[in-house]
Amino acid sequence: MSEFALKTALPQYLRVEQEKIQNLAAAQGLDFFPIVFEILTYDQMNEIAAYMGFPNRFPHWRFGMEYERLAKSYEYGLSKIYEMVINNNPSYAYLLEGNSLVDQKLVMAHVCGHVDFFKNNYAFRSTDLDTGGKTTDPASRPKDYDPNRRWIDKMANHGARIRRHVARQGINKIEEYIDHCLSLENLIDPHAPFKGSGPSRDPDAEDKATEIPRLRAKEYMESFINPEEYLEQQRIKIEAEKEKEKKFPVRPERDILKFLLDHAPLDRWEHDVLEVVREEAYYFQPQMQTKIMNEGWASYWHSKLMTEKILDASEIIDYADHAAGVLATSKGQLNPYKLGIELFRNIEERWDRGQFGKEWEECDDLAAKKNWNLRLGLGKKKIFEVRALYNDVTFIDEFLTPDFVRDAKMFSYAWSNRNERYEIETREFKAVKEKLLFQLTNAGNPFIYVDDANFENRGELLLRHDHQGLDLRADWAREVLRSLVRIWKRPVNLTTQVEAKPVMMRYDGREHTTRHLRRE
Amino acid sequence: MSLKIDQDHSRFRNIVRGRIRQNLRKYISQGELIGRKGKDLVSIPIPQIEIPRFRYSDRQQGGAGQGDGNPGDPVGGDQGDEQGEGGRKAGEGAGEHVLEVDVTLDELAAILGEELELPDIRDKGKSKIINEKERYTGIRRVGPESLRHFRRTYREALKRQISMGAYSPERPIVVPIPDDKRFRSWKTEAEPVANAVIIYMMDVSGSMGDEQKEIVRIESFWIDTWLQRQYKGLESRYIIHDAVAREVDRETFFHTRESGGTMISSAYKLCAQLIDDHYPPEEWNIYPFHFSDGDNWSMDDTLHCVELLKQKVLPRVNMFAYGQVESPYGSGQFIKDLRDHFSKDERVITSEIRDKDAIVGSIKEFLGKGA
C-alpha cells in the first residue's frame, strides 16, 4: 500500500482544500476517521473500482470482468467514477485526476459525509477488528471510539493467502473453486454479527430417560392392561421417534457459509478460501444495508457544505450542474442519492417544525398541518441520531410518509406479461412502501436456511427457501445447488415454490431433479 | 503501465474466448454479426458469465421507482445509463444482464481457426520476394532538407532563445539556426510479400434466392476474415453470372438477382481473364470460389467448364472451391460433374451447403486442407 500511496499522493493545492473542508465538516458536527486522499488516473480508478476499493485483493476473473465493464462504459462516455471511498481506519478515498477543482471539492465534502457514516452508523460496527485482525463482537463500544478497521491490510492478507494456494494448487483449480464460493456469497445472516456466538446445539435437548406412557390401571390389572410386550413395542417406537428428532442443525441456520465452514468436509485450502469469501461478504454487508442512507447522508453534507461554506460565486453554476446530474432519476429508477438526501432533509424539517408525535399524527386539519411549526429546532439533532441508529429498512419504515411519497412522485412498478414491459403499478403509499421495503430487505436476496444436514439420514443437505411470494430464478438456483454439492460433497436439496406449488429441487452431483411436494 | 488487474482481465478474456468457442457455430451463422461490425471490432453478447446466486426471478419482482407517469405507463426501458458518483450502480432491479464483449475480427478468426482446426495456409513459396518498406519512426539532427521537421525545428529554436534570454513575448520572433534543425528519420523494414486474391463467383439465376445469397454472404465473409489473417494484402473480386458473366462490386454481388439461363463457363472464362490481367501467379496466391445451386445450361457447357478449369484456372491457383447451395429449384447436378472429373485433383474442393447451420462445416471443407 505504501508504495501505491506515495505515487498517488495529493498535490499541495488539494491538501489545502482538504484541510479546509474537513475543518468545516467537523465544525458542523461530523465525526470521521482520518481520511487519506489519493489521486488516480481513470484506468487506475477503474482498476480499483473493479476490486471494490482494494488495490490488493485476491485474484479472480470476476474483477477483470468488472474492469472491462467499467473501462468500456467510461470509454463510451456512459459513466465516470468521480470518487471512491473505503471503510477503513484511516479511510482511503480516491479522486479522479483531471477533474475540475469544483468537482474535487465536492467529492471531498461528500467523502467526509461517508466517513462520518462509516464511523458512526451501528451497522458498520460489525466491520471492527481486534488486534489480531479478527472481526469483533460489535455489541459494546468504548467511549473514545477508535476501532481497528485495517481492512486494507486484511484484504491484502486474504490476497496473499489465496495467492499461496494458487502457487500450490494452480490457478485453474483455485479459481474454479472460488467461482463456487462466490455463488454462495449472499448466503449469510446480516444479523449474525450482532447475535453473538450462542451454542449451536439446543441445550434443552439433553437425553432424557425414555418414559413410556402407560395406560391407567389398577395395580392388579397392570400386567393385563400394560403387558410387557406392549411396553417394549412402545419403547421402540418412541426411541425411533426420538432418533428422528435428533436433527442437525437444531434450529434452521441462515449463515450457510458459517455452517459449511464448520461442518462440510473441506480440505484446508478449501476451508481457507471459503473463509476469505465469507469474511469479505460480511465486510460489504453494511454497505448494502445502508446504501440509501449512506449516499443520502454524504449528499446532504456535500450539498450543505458546498453551498453554504465552500463555493465562491464563480463556481456555483458548475456545482449546480454537477449536483443535478448526481441527483437525477433516470427512467424511473430510484436513485439512492436523491431518495436519501430528500428523506434526510424531510426529517430535518419535520423535527425542526415539530411535525411528529401523537398530536401531529392525530391532527385532521389539513391547513393546520400545512402551517404546523412549533419551532422546536430539533432537526439537526434528529438526523445525527438517525444516521447512527438506522439502516435502509428501518429508515424507510419509520420515516417514509404519505406526503413524502406524493411529493417525490414515487410509484411501484411490476412486470406486465401482456405488454412485455415493466409498468407503473400504483402511487398508493402503502403499496409503494411495501415494494420498497421488500426490495431492501435482506439486500434484495431471498431467505435461505439450512434445515437439515442429515436429510433422510443420508448425510444430504436440506435447504429451505422461505418463499415470500417470489420464485427463485430457476436456472441460477440449479447452478448454486451445483456449487453447494461441490462443497458439501453430498447431494443437496432445496424446498421452494414454483408458481405457488411447493417443490423440492435436488442435485445429486450428476443430475438435477425437481419434484412436486404435497402441500402440508 | 501495467495494472494488477491485467491478469484478472486476461483470465476473464480467456473465459470469454471459451464461451465464444462453445457458441461459435451460432455466431458464425448469424448474419447480423457481419452487419454489426464496426471497424474491426464486433460486439458479441455473452449470456450468463456472471456468478449465479440465489436470486428472485427478475420479472416477478418489480420494485419502487420515482418520476412521472400514470399506472399502466411503461417504466424505464433499458437501464444502460448510470449516472452518479459512487462506484456502484444507482438503481437495482429491472433488466437482465447480458454482457457484451468486444472481440476483434482477427481474434474471432483465430478462434474460428482453432475450433475448425484450420491449418495455417502454405504460401506458394513467395516469401522469398521481400519488399522493403520505409517508415518514419523518429527524429534526427541531420538529414535532407526535404525531411525537415518544421515544428520540431522551431520548438528547438524557441527553447534555445528562451534559455539564452533572447526571446521576448512582446516581439515573438523565432529564428532557427542550423543547430536547431530537426529531421524526420526512417527505418527500412523488410516485409515478405504475401498477396492473395479471392475471386468470388456466383450464379445469380432466378433460383438463387435471398436465403441462398445470405448463405454465400456469411460464408464468404468468414473466408475473407480467415484469409486476411494469413495474408497481408488480401483482395477480393466479385463475378456474377447467368448466361453471361460480369465483374461487379461487393454490394452488387450480394444483392443482384438476375434470371435467364445459366452458363457457368462464362464465369470461369472471366475468372481466367482476371488472373491473366491482374494476378501473375508467381506473385499472387489465388483463391477462386464459385457458388451456385448446381444447375447448368447444358452438358456441353459443363464440359467446357472442365476444360477451362484444367487449362486456364487450376494451374495458376492455390485451390478452386465450389460451393453448392441447396435451393428448391436446382437440380444440383454440377457438383456431381465436378466430382466425376476432378475426384483425384486435390486443388478442387467441393462442398454442399444445405442451410445456414452447414456453413461452418463447409468452411472447414474449403479451408481445412491448407491449400
DSSP-assigned states of every residue in A25-65: HHHTT-----EEEEEE-HHHHHHHHHTTT-TTPPP-HHHHH
Query: Do A342 and B97 meet the contact criterion of CB atoms below 8 Å apart?
Result: no
Please give the distance of CA A10 from its chain centroid, rounded to a whole number: 32
**Which residue is closest to A494 within chain B, CA to CA?**
B54
Contacts of A188 (CB under 8 A, 6+ apart): A254, A255, A256, A257, A258, A278, A281, A282, A285
Percent of chain B with pLDDT over 90: 18
What is the number of alpha carbons within 13 Å of residue B111 lying toward its C-beta? 21
A432/B7 Cβ within 8 A? no
Alpha-carbon distances of A69 from A324, B102, B149, rounded to whole Å: 25, 11, 41
Q: What's the mean pLDDT in A429-455? A: 92
Residue B285 has pLDDT above 50, yes or no: yes
Does B8 touch chain A if contact means CB atoms closer than 8 Å? Answer: yes
Query: Do B2 and B10 meet the contact criterion of CB atoms below 8 Å apart?
Result: no
B96 pLDDT band (50/70/90 cuts)? Answer: very low
Contacts of B45 (CB under 8 A, 6+ apart): B98, B99, B100
Write down the mean pLDDT value for chain B.
80
Does A335 touch chain B if contact means CB atoms closer than 8 Å? Answer: yes
Does A99 touch chain B if contact means CB atoms closer than 8 Å? Answer: no
| Residue A474 identity | A
Running DSSP on this structure, what letter comes out for residue A170?
-
At A195, list the grid cell.
447475535
Q: Nearest CA of chain B to the CA of A57: how many Å?
A: 10
Cα–Cα distance, A29 to A23 (Å, whole number): 10
B99/A67 Cβ within 8 A? no
At B54, list the grid cell.
440465489
Contacts of B312 (CB under 8 A, 6+ apart): B268, B272, B275
Q: Which of B28-32, B150-154, B158-162 has the lowest mean pLDDT?
A: B28-32
Does B3 touch chain A if contact means CB atoms closer than 8 Å? Answer: yes
Write down the mean pLDDT value for chain A.
89
Condensed to tens digits (0 to 9), the pLDDT of residues A81-120 reads 888 999 999 999 999 998 889 999 999 999 999 999 999 9
Q: Which of A175-184, A202-211, A442-451, A503-512 has the lowest mean pLDDT?
A: A202-211
Q: Which chain A positions have a beta carbon within 8 Å of B83's beta carbon?
A: 79, 325-326, 328, 330
Residue A233 has pLDDT above 90, yes or no: no
Running DSSP on this structure, what letter comes out for residue A160?
H
Does A233 touch chain B if contact means CB atoms closer than 8 Å? Answer: no
The pLDDT assigned to B124 comes to: 58
B61/A331 Cβ within 8 A? no
Does A418 touch chain B if contact means CB atoms closer than 8 Å? Answer: no
Which of B12, B74, B84 is opposite residue A326, by nearest beta carbon? B84
Q: What's the mean pLDDT in A364-373? A: 88
Cα–Cα distance, B146 to B183 (Å, whole number): 9
Of A449, A445, A484, A477, whose CA–CA distance to A464 is shortest? A449
Name the CA radius of gyration of chain B, rounded.
Answer: 29
ipTM value > 0.90 = no
Cα–Cα distance, B5 to A49 (Å, whole number): 11
Does A242 touch chain B if contact means CB atoms closer than 8 Å? Answer: no
Q: What's the mean pLDDT in A493-498? A: 95
The pLDDT assigned to B87 comes to: 31
Of B199, B197, B204, B216, whose CA–CA distance to B324 is shortest? B216
Condensed to tens digits (0 to 9), the pLDDT of residues B177-213 reads 988 999 988 877 766 666 788 999 998 887 787 888 8
Give the best residue of B54, B68, B81 to mutate against chain A (max A CB count within 10 A).
B54
Q: Nearest CA of chain B to the CA of A20: how many Å?
A: 22
Query: Do B368 and B329 meet the contact criterion of CB atoms below 8 Å apart?
Result: no
Does A90 touch chain B if contact means CB atoms closer than 8 Å? Answer: no
Give the best residue of B44, B51, B88, B96 to mutate against chain A (max A CB count within 10 A).
B51
A329/B67 Cβ within 8 A? yes
Residue B146 has pLDDT above 80, yes or no: yes
B52/A475 Cβ within 8 A? yes
B93/A435 Cβ within 8 A? no
Burial class (CB in 10 A: 0-12, 13-18, 19+), A504: middle
Q: How many residues does chain B have?
A: 371
Name the CA radius of gyration of chain A, rounded.
Answer: 28
Query: Do B3 and B62 meet the contact criterion of CB atoms below 8 Å apart?
Result: no
A334/B66 Cβ within 8 A? yes
Residue B134 has pLDDT above 60, yes or no: yes
Contacts of A253 (CB under 8 A, 6+ apart): A189, A200, A259, A449, A450
Burial class (CB in 10 A: 0-12, 13-18, 19+), B63: buried
At B204, list the grid cell.
445469380
Q: What's the mean pLDDT in A411-425? A: 87
Condensed to tens digits (0 to 9), the pLDDT of residues A5-23 reads 446 688 899 999 999 999 9
Left, alpha or beta for A469 (phi > 0: left; psi -120 to 50: alpha)?
A: left
SS (H, E, C) A271-293: HHHHHHHHHHHHHHHHHHHCHHH
Does A200 touch chain B if contact means CB atoms closer than 8 Å? Answer: no
Cα–Cα distance, A432 to A408 (Å, whole number): 12
Residue pointed to by grid coordinates 524526420: B184
Condensed to tens digits (0 to 9), the pLDDT of residues A299-330 reads 999 999 999 999 988 898 889 888 888 888 77
The pLDDT assigned to B81 comes to: 35
Q: Nearest CA of chain A to the CA of B98: how many Å?
A: 11
Residue B228 vs residue A85, higher pLDDT? A85
Residue A50 burial (CB count, 10 A): 25
Burial class (CB in 10 A: 0-12, 13-18, 19+), A267: exposed
At A388, list the grid cell.
447512527
Note the maximum CA span of chain B. 91
Q: Which chain B positions have a beta carbon within 8 Å of A186's beta carbon?
A: 53-54
Condensed to tens digits (0 to 9), the pLDDT of residues A130-160 reads 888 888 777 666 777 788 999 999 999 999 9
A83/B86 Cβ within 8 A? yes
Residue B68 has pLDDT above 70, yes or no: yes
Q: Nearest CA of chain B to the CA of A434: how many Å?
A: 9
Does B178 touch chain A if contact means CB atoms closer than 8 Å? Answer: no
Give the best residue of B17, B44, B61, B103 to mutate against chain A (max A CB count within 10 A).
B61
Size of the A and B interface in Cβ pairs below 8 Å: 236
- The DSSP element (H or E) to which A400 belongs, if any, is none
Strands B245-248 and B284-292: unpaired
Task: Return the C-alpha torsion angle A191, A192, A196, A202, nearest 10.
Answer: 110
Residue A28 burial (CB count, 10 A): 17
Cα–Cα distance, B86 to A448 (Å, whole number): 30
Residue B48 has pLDDT above 60, yes or no: no
Which of B3, B65, B88 is opposite residue A413, by nearest beta carbon? B65
A63/B8 Cβ within 8 A? yes
**Which residue is closest to B82 within chain A, CA to CA?**
A79
Strands A410-416 and A421-426: antiparallel
Residue B88 has pLDDT above 60, yes or no: no
- The residue extents of the domains of chain A are 205-245, 331-438, 446-516
A62/B12 Cβ within 8 A? yes
Residue A332 has pLDDT above 50, yes or no: yes
The pLDDT assigned to B111 comes to: 83
Cα–Cα distance, B306 to B241 (Å, whole number): 17
Cα–Cα distance, B299 to B334 (Å, whole number): 9
Q: Nearest CA of chain A to the CA of B238: how many Å?
A: 37
Left, alpha or beta for B7 (phi > 0: left; psi -120 to 50: alpha)?
A: alpha
